[in-house]
Amino acid sequence: MEKITEYANPLSRVLIAFIFIMFGLNKIFNYSATSAWMEAMGAPSFLLPFVILLEVIGGLAIVVGWQTRWIALSLAGFGFLVH
């Protein structure tokens, strides 16, 4: 059983971070559409660069294991505020 957790923990960290990184990159490549959607939902579009940074840099930080608790808390708080 220890063999499974030895590989499952890093793999799960990468897969969770991959979600945030991909959504951040999607926002970069569809910047104008995402900006318009944010405005339609009542969120100011000037926050979009900060959202992208949080998702991409936060996801990468989780992958490398830097400040994972604080980054995860920030991403969870962001997800809670958005939805």
pLDDT tens digits along 10-56 = 898 899 999 999 999 999 999 999 999 999 988 888 999 999 999 99
pLDDT of residue 79 exceeding 80: no
Length of the chain: 83
Domain spans in the chain, listed from the N-terminal domain onward = 2-82
Alpha-carbon span 1 to 22, nearest angstrom: 31
Q: What is the pLDDT of residue 4?
A: 85
With beta carbons less than 8 A apart as the criterion, state whether 58 and 20 touch.
yes
- CA dist 9 and 31 (Å) reads 33
